Each structure stands twice: as structure tokens, then as C-alpha cells.
Amino acid sequence: MENGEEHDPADETGATIKRLTMVGRLALLQQDIGRAEQSFTEALQAVDDDHLELAVDLYRRLGQVCKQNGRFQQAQDLERAAEALTEHLEPPLDLSVAGLSRLVAALRTAPQERVMLGSILSRLAMLERLEAGGAAMARAHMEEAVAIALELEPDSSETLVRQSNLAGMRGLDGDLPGAIELADSIKDQVRAEDPRGASILLRSIAQLRARAGEVDGGAADAAEAVELATAAGAAAERAAALSALGMIRSMQGDLAGEAATYREALAVLRAEAGESADGAMASAVNLWRLAKAERSQGDLGQAIEHLTQGVAMLREHTPRGDQLVEMLYSLGEAQAEAGEIGAAAAALRETARITLSPTMRVSCEIRLGDITKELGHYEEAQRMLAEALADAEALGNEGLIAGASMALAGVYRWSGDLDRAQRLYETVVERTADDSPQHAMALSNLAGVHYARGDFDAAALRYRKALELASDLRSVLNITYNLATALHGSGDLAEADAYYAAVVDGITSANRARAEAISGRGQIAAAQGRTEDALGYFRETVATAEQMWAATRGDANRSALFARSEYYYSQLLETLQRLGAPGNAAEALTLAELTRARTLQARLGEPAATAPKASRLEASRLRQKLAAVSRRLLHARTDPESGEATLAGLHRQERELSAALEDLVSPAHPVASAGMLTSAQIQAALHQGTVLLEFQVVNSRVFAWTVTTYAIDLRVLPTDVSELTDLVLRVVGPYHAGLPPEDAAGVWDELREAVLGPLGPLPPETGMLLVSPAGPLNVMPFEPLLDGPTVVYVPSATVGLRPRAPRPNRVAEAEFVGFGNPAFDRTLPEFADLPSLPGAEVEVEEIAGLFGSRGIAFCGDRATEDELRSWARRCRYLHVAAHGLVDLDNPMRSGIVLSSSRMMRLLREPGHDDVLHGYEMIDLDIAAELVVVAACRTGFGSEWHGEGLATVGSALLQGGARWVLVALWPVGDLVSVAFMRVLYEALLDGVAIPEAVKAARAEIRADHDDPYWWAGFALFGLHA
């Protein structure tokens, strides 16, 4: 040996183990989990019988790494190995804080054991750091351990580890200058010994400098860390250094550079880390940071894409980890900002389900309440946000209290309770610091209260103040838009337009703020007489609204969203009509189609097998549960023993089930389905001799299109909606009470003149009239207004004319299957006022007799929901003569009263399986060409924004029926029997369904002139 010294292999092995352990500890300190595991594993492999005591520490360090990676079973195995080895190496040491403290006290009395004292002090400090309130003592002990190391072993690797740990403690304690000074003092030594370790250390120094305000110096250190890691071929360290550099560039305000750096980090990880858990975790973090940068730049589409990728990675590796929770929450916020309301709600609900943090859970509650407000569900939003505010106050979290208060105030503001809104906003202003984002937003919202009261000058003043305080881009754009509206209201159109333009330029994604700003520019252009400019802006507004609608999941969510954006379509329709240029009527018709029956068209146009089977089954299961809740609500509303608590609980169940259904990717998601027809496509789909009359309520006026294969004419009815509603009620209102008006002919003449008179005569060749009604026209028949054409009602031209998706070919096992006079429990309060229907029983049995062996009648106890479900897909004509139930609050709760199944009667379970609700009709998979529902008022329902009238009939169309005949008012038994007999006799003679209905109507009209007797049934269907 050199200088005659003997080489001691044991010393070399020990040095190797200690060096590898030091590298691993440095990596662990910097959260470089993969490097730490590699170093600890190599050190453990180097352990021999002379160094078993070092293996105990290595087993435990490897266990710590496994825990951080979610490999808990492996971590337990390593802990057992450490315990077993400790017992083998008697005597066991008490390695707790208390035990090590006693050992330190003993070692202080033995000056010759200062090396051991330093080692134990270092270990004690690391344990104390993890204990509550132990930070100060931990740092003091680590300072002493470093002093001993510098005194006795200044150049050892252990000294570097202790100094690095101490620098980290100083940084966490806020002593940034001390941390930076210490880290700077050792970086050259670390660089010389281990370039990879130097990259880790420089990354730490860079972050410390940035926190201390030395942002440029931090950027230089981070850049050097990237260079060192690149030179060392250390991909993980290079990616980590790039990520740190990206965060520092964000602090420099270099958003483009920040995003580019994260993309480079992701490229490194994809090239080197592959599918490893560590690589996936690091990639997810960088995707998260990249998405934040993109969102700050207004690129919401890319941000959502990258957040979605990151969430998928984290779901695979840490399905309940904190990082997944944070990223899911960020995804929900980005989707909400982009107008993807349904997806945002789904992400936030999942976040609330998996988080263990009460603070995060309340944050989700606030955001979900805010989304509910944006959808226009004010009562529900108020309930949600009041609960969130109570939870925030219980936590004592001022930030959450301010957020919940502002969101709740927003509900009060939008629902018209301005005084309560103002009080809450003022409370937030008082409780938040002047330089906080919440303070600026509270001022902005307070200005909104002034705006709502019409005090535009006061609103503008407060908006300007809020704009001065706002710091982040989203808040600036939000307040800028609000300021524009105030200036617009005060008449300062030029400045308002400039602010609207700034908002449009600053928001690249399709969301409500962008749509509102474009709409504002259009309104200003119209006010200034720049009609063509206004037309362009209004078209762009509708295009933005369409992107928002397509990105929103769930029928109720889409309807609520359309309620908030319906006026975008109205202002474009009015502008097109007012200009009257060639082609405007056609464009207006295309636009009108976008406002009606969109969910119905999506369901009819989408093949059933498109959605995953599991998704279809889950959606069906949820609708069955909603039907069960609807049945219990029906009972609870009339049962004197059911209190408010019962009703509240049922409504809560309904909300939760509806939310779960909205979260599912529907089999008929609009993005994947065929779109609405254009005016040219409508004309091409019309048969020769067929005319379409389509009506649309636009603000207070009714637009009417007359469409043939060769022309499109647009007129506006001179009678406004309010007057037309009164007139319709004068006509059909008495029919619902069974009392035709005394001057029925005169009232019908007046209605004819108001509705059809302004349109002029129909073309003489008109044989078929398709009517797509709107507003009050939904509840009246058109047959009494004209003679000649066969009338068919369609929810929209698209639904009526576009061929539906192919359905399975089934052989009908029966031509006619009828259900009449179902037996139900009249002791139930909800059925107490429903009489028996012997005429319905006669009707069904007589018609079944017309079909001979191919006709089946189920009456009384046999008229069950189970039988109807079974035969709906196995017959040609399905006929139900029973009582109908109409729920105007939620048409999907409407239904048909049937008989309970035999099993339910045997089990004495009253009120089960005796009403077929709209929720269930959607899943009937009807193969019948015609479904007749001879039940009272089954043509009645409620207007859903973007859908039109939702009724039992529309639910049956969704369930697969091609044609549905429903009752607009109660029709007497004798008339109903006669009408149906003629209808089915015509069908047996081969007459098409619309003409058969017309023939039945003519037969009754021959003996009864008043439309009460012959116009009560309306045929809805798919003409194509």
C-alpha cells in the first residue's frame, strides 16, 4: 500500500455505506424519492456482518420511501426487518425523542464521545422537527450537531448532510438569509464530490433565494442546477430543477417561459422515467403547474387537457392522495371557468368525496354552490352555501368564511334580495385585508349591488377601485367586464366598448364572461346604429354559447345554462327579423332550432350501444331510484302524517340522485350526437305537400315560420305573448273543467285570427301540416283553426324530420296490447280523488277484440307496470287508458297510475310499483309504432329552457316510441271509446297513423261540432 499503510476493507465498506446513505438522505430531503430509494438500496446491498448496525437505519429509511410512494405493505415489511435486526444487535436503543434526549444528556458528560453526541443530536433534531412545537429545539440541536461536525470532521460527508439539513430548517423557520448563506458555503464542496447532489442542493438554494425576493439569483441557481443534472445524466434531477426554474419564472412574471420550462420537464420525464410510479408522480406535478400557467394565460382548453392527464396519472398511483385532491379541485375550477359546468361539478363532487381535509371539503361546497347559482338554481344554491358558510365558521377559517359569504351574497343578489347581498359583501370588505384578492372581489360585487339598483355611476366608481386592487388576471378580467356594464348603463358607450373589447381579448375560452362581453359590444353597436357590426357580435355570442352548451353534461344542467343564455339567441333573432334581408328568415329558423328539443334529439339520434354498457346500466339504475323517490314524494305531499322533515329528506335524495345522474357521461351526450338541422336541411327533408309551422317566443313576441320545400317565410304575430296566453286560456281553460265555453265558435275564431291570420293562407297543395308550437300554443290543438290538412305535432323540426338512430329489429308478438282501468289502492291519500274508469276497461277490451288473437287486454289487477314494461318492446300498438299524474315542478315525476304487481300486493307494500314515472319511460325501450296514452292531461307539462314542453309524451318519445297520442284535456269515456275504435279500425285497414287519427277526429266531429269532443287528442311523432 501507499506509504506502507495497510488497507482495511471494513473501513472502505463503511465509508461506501455512509456515502450512499448521505446521498440518499440529501435526495430525500429534496423530495427526490426515486434517487433516495436507489441510494438506500445500494447502501443496504453493501452491508456485511461488520456493519449490521447501519442496516437498521437503512431499512427504516427505505420504509419511509415506500410510504411516500404508497407501497404500505413493503414499508411494514421493512419496519419488521429493522425491528428484528435491532433485537439481534442487543442492547436495543430507545430511539424516541425522550430516549435520544436522555442519551444526549449522558453523552454531554463524556467529552470523549463528542462524535457520538453530534450524531445523536442530528438524529434527535430530525425527530423533533416532526413533532408539534418542536421546530425551535430541533434547529438548536442541529446547529450544535453541525458545530461538532465542523470541529471534528469538517470534510466528511456526514457534515455535509447535517449542514444541508440545517439549511432546510433555517429556510422553513423563515431565516432565509441564514439558510442561503449556509447552502452557498457548501455548494462548491458538494459540486466537487457529487454533481448530481450539487444539482439537488442548487435547486434548494434557488428556491430559498426566490422566497427571499432574490428572484433573478434564484433563476440563475435553478438554471445551473439544470446544467449540472444534464451533465450528470440525471434525468429525474434535471426534471426537478426545470420544475423549480418554472416556478421562479412564474415569480418573474414570465408566463410563457414558465410554461415552456414545464413542457421541457415533462419531455425529460417522458423520455427517461417511462411508466414508473416516480415518473408518473413527477409528471403529474409538472402537468399541474403547466396547467396553472396556461390558465393564467387564458388558455383554458390546454389547461383542462393537462389537468385531466395529471388526474388520470394520480388516480392510478395515489387514488386518495393529497396531490390528486388538489389537482381535481383545480380541474373543476378550470372547467367551471371554461363553461364546462357539468364536468366541473363532477370533478368538485369527487374532490369532496375523497379529501380528508375539512378545509378542502368546504372549498368544494362553496364552489359547487357557486356553480349551482350560475345555473340559475337559486334556492338550491342558497341552501348549499348557507351550509358551507356554517362549516367555514366552525373551522374558523377566514378565507373560507369570506369565500362562502361572497358566494351566498351572489345568490341573494341574483335572486333580487339586494339588501342581504349588500350586508354580506360589506362584511367581507371589513374582514379582509386591502391587498387581498377577496377584498377586491368583494368591492367589485358590492359595486354590482349598486348596478342592480340602477346607480351606474356609483357602481363604476367602486369597480374602478376594485380594479386598482386586483392582481391576478382572472380577477382583473372579471372586474373589467363589470366596469364595462356600469359604463354601458350610464351611457358612456365608447369607454364601455373599450373595456368589453379588453375582456374579449383576454379570454380565449368559451365561457359566460366572454359571451357577455361580446353581447355587450353587440348591444352598443346596435345602439349606435352599426347594425351589421351588431349582427356579427350577436352571431359570435351565440357561437360561444353553443360551445358552452356542448361542453355541459346533464339535462338539468344544460337547461339551467340555457336559461341564463337564452337572450343571446333572442337578440340575434330579433336583429335578423328587424333587418329583413334575404336569407335572414332561413338563418333565423336555423337559430330557432338550436333553442328547442335538443336533449330529445340527442337521445333519438344516438345509437343506444354508443355509450359503455356499464354507463347505460348505471344511468338506468339511477332513474329507477329517482322514480322511487318520486313515488314517495307523491305520497308524502298528500299524507297528513308526513311532515316537513320527510319532504325535505326526499327532496335531498332527489337532488343527490339527480347530481349522480348528471355526472354520468350520458349515452346521448350532445357532442357525440347528430346536430340540429339547418333551414336548408329542413326544407330538403320536407315531403311535397308538407308544410312546417314553427313558432318561437322571443322576449314578449311570437315569431312564426311557414316552411315549404321552396320557401321560408317569417312573420311576427301582432298579439304579444301575454295577450295570446289569456286568449288560449279562455279557449281551453273551460275544457279542463268539462265546461265548454258558451261562445266556443267565436272564441276559436278569435284565436284563429290571432295565430294563423298574420301568416296568410297555407299553400293550396298542403296535405300534411307539421306544427312545432311554443309558449301558450303548446297547450292547444291547431285542428279547430283550419280544415283540410292532417296535423302532426313535433317538438322541433329536427326531431320530426331527422331519421332516428337505427334500432334493433324485433318481431311483434302482438299487434295490440292495452292497459285499462288499473286497480289501485284508493285508501292511499294521493289516489283518494281518482275514480274508477270502467269506460277505459270497455275501451281496451273492445279494441283488443278488433285484433282477435293478436290483441291483448290487461285490465284491473292485471294492468301492472311489470306487464307494460314487458310488452312495450314486443307489440306494434301500445294503449294505456288510465289516470295520468302531472307534476309541473318536475315533469319527469309525472306518470301513469297502474296496478301494483302481484308480488307487491302479497307483500302488502302499498304505493310500490303502481305509477310509471317519466324517469322510467325513458328506459322502456319501446318498439311500438304508436303509443296511446288516453289519460287526463298527459299532453301537459313544463317548459324546459332549450327543450320546450316536457311531458309524458316527450318521455315516451325518448323511450323509443315513434308516435305518441296524448290528451290535452279530460275526454269523456263514451267519446274516447268511439274515437279509439275508429282509430284502430283505420289502422287495421292499413291507413297511416296520422291519417287514422284524422279519420277518428272527423268521425266524432260529425256528431259533435264543439272541439271539446273531437280535438282533445294530439299526435306527436317522428314524421321522417
Model pLDDT, residue 973? 80
- Residue 93: exposed, middle, or buried by beta-carbon count in 10 A (0-12, 13-18, 19+)? middle
Model pLDDT, residue 2? 38
Closest by Cα among 281, 371, 286, 293 to 322: 281
For the chain, the first-to-last Cα distance in angstroms comes to 99
Average pLDDT, integer, range 593-600: 84
Closest by Cα among 777, 805, 808 to 793: 777
Flag whether pLDDT at 767 surpasses 70: yes
| DSSP alpha helix (H) spans, 109-173 | 114-130, 135-152, 157-172
Give me the amino acid identity at 845: E
Model pLDDT, residue 90? 54
Burial 198-227 (b: 16+ CB within 10 A, else e): bbbbbbbbbbbbbbbebbebbbbbbbbbbe
Angle at 909 between CA 908 and CA 913, to 5 degrees: 130
- List phi, psi (to 5°) of 821: 45, 55
What is the three-class DSSP state of 807? coil
How many CB atoms neighbour CB 147 within 10 A? 14
DSSP symbol at 864 = B
Q: Please list the residues that pair with 793 across neighbouring strands.
A: 771, 1020
Flag whether pLDDT at 898 surpasses 50: yes
Contacts of residue 943, defined as CB under 8 A and 6 or more positions apart, other chains included, come to 775, 778, 949, 950
pLDDT (tens digit, 9 = 90+) per residue, 79-90? 777 777 776 665
What is the three-class DSSP state of 725? helix
CA dihedral 188, 189, 191, 193 (to 10 degrees): 160
| CA–CA distance, 501 with 515 (Å, rounded to integer) | 11
Peptide bond into 640 cis (omega under 30): no
Q: Considering the chain, what percentage of its residues have pLDDT values greater than 70?
A: 92
Average pLDDT, integer, range 390-396: 94
Average pLDDT, integer, range 306-316: 89
| CA–CA distance, 774 with 566 (Å, rounded to integer) | 14
Cβ–Cβ < 8 Å for 504, 521: yes
Count, residues in the chain: 1024
| CA–CA distance, 754 with 575 (Å, rounded to integer) | 23
Flag whether pLDDT at 589 surpasses 90: yes
How many CB atoms neighbour CB 65 within 10 A? 24
- Residue 863: exposed, middle, or buried by beta-carbon count in 10 A (0-12, 13-18, 19+)? buried
What is the three-class DSSP state of 214? coil
Model pLDDT, residue 71? 75
- List phi, psi (to 5°) of 529: 85, 10
Flag whether pLDDT at 482 surpasses 90: yes
Sign of CA dihedral 851, 852, 855, 859: positive
Cβ–Cβ < 8 Å for 143, 175: no
pLDDT (tens digit, 9 = 90+) per residue, 437-447? 889 989 999 99
What is the chain's mean pLDDT, rounded?
Answer: 85
What is the three-class DSSP state of 71? coil
Element at 605 (helix H, strand E): helix 598-605
Q: 712-716 and 948-951: which strand pairing?
A: unpaired
Q: 768-772 and 790-793: which strand pairing?
A: parallel
Closest by Cα among 584, 484, 596 to 535: 584
Count of alpha carbons within 13 Å of 304, Cβ hemisphere only?
20
Contacts of residue 106, defined as CB under 8 A and 6 or more positions apart, other chains included, come to none
Flag whether pLDDT at 492 surpasses 90: yes
Query: Which of the listed ranges 10-14, 277-281, 494-498 does the model predict with the highest average pLDDT?
Result: 494-498
Conformational region of residue 272, where left means phi above 0, alpha means psi within -120 to 50, and beta covers everything else: alpha
Cβ–Cβ < 8 Å for 791, 1017: no
How many separate helices (H) and strands (E) can be counted in the chain? Answer: 44, 16
366 or 4, greater pLDDT:
366
pLDDT (tens digit, 9 = 90+) per residue, 176-185? 888 888 888 8
Average pLDDT, integer, range 561-572: 87
Contacts of residue 219, defined as CB under 8 A and 6 or more positions apart, other chains included, come to 206, 210, 245, 248, 249, 252
Flag whether pLDDT at 525 surpasses 90: yes
| DSSP alpha helix (H) spans, 491-554 | 493-506, 512-527, 531-550
Average pLDDT, integer, range 869-883: 94
| CA–CA distance, 604 with 800 (Å, rounded to integer) | 11
Element at 925 (helix H, strand E): none
| CA–CA distance, 649 with 573 (Å, rounded to integer) | 43
| CA–CA distance, 127 with 135 (Å, rounded to integer) | 10
| CA–CA distance, 178 with 190 (Å, rounded to integer) | 18
Element at 917 (helix H, strand E): strand 915-917
CA dihedral 108, 110, 112, 114 (to 10 degrees): -20
Closest by Cα among 813, 843, 790, 851 to 985: 851
19 or 934, greater pLDDT:
934
Cβ–Cβ < 8 Å for 361, 390: no
Element at 51 (helix H, strand E): none
Average pLDDT, integer, range 219-242: 87
pLDDT band at 543 (very low <50, low <70, confident <90, very high): very high
pLDDT (tens digit, 9 = 90+) per residue, 775-814? 999 989 999 999 889 999 999 999 889 887 666 677 889 9
Closest by Cα among 179, 149, 199 to 30: 199
Q: Considering the chain, what percentage of its residues have pLDDT values greater than 90?
A: 41
* Pick from 549-558, 606-615, 894-903, 940-949: least confident: 606-615
**Radius of gyration for the chain, computed over Cα atoms and rounded to the nearest angstrom:** 37
- Output the nine-digit C-alpha cell for 582: 334575404
pLDDT (tens digit, 9 = 90+) per residue, 359-368? 999 999 999 9
What is the three-class DSSP state of 690? strand
Flag whether pLDDT at 33 surpasses 70: yes
- Output the nine-digit C-alpha cell for 802: 331527422
Closest by Cα among 637, 634, 645 to 912: 634
- Residue 437: exposed, middle, or buried by beta-carbon count in 10 A (0-12, 13-18, 19+)? middle
Contacts of residue 349, defined as CB under 8 A and 6 or more positions apart, other chains included, come to 364, 368, 659, 663
Model pLDDT, residue 666? 41
- Residue 640: exposed, middle, or buried by beta-carbon count in 10 A (0-12, 13-18, 19+)? exposed
What is the three-class DSSP state of 412? helix
How many CB atoms neighbour CB 7 within 10 A? 8
Model pLDDT, residue 631? 92
Model pLDDT, residue 685? 93
Average pLDDT, integer, range 38-51: 80
* Pick from 177-191, 343-357, 991-1005: least confident: 177-191
Closest by Cα among 714, 678, 722 to 581: 714
Contacts of residue 271, defined as CB under 8 A and 6 or more positions apart, other chains included, come to 235
* Pick from 258-262, 321-325, 846-850, 919-923: least confident: 321-325
| CA–CA distance, 324 with 305 (Å, rounded to integer) | 15
* Pick from 181-190, 279-288, 480-489: least confident: 181-190
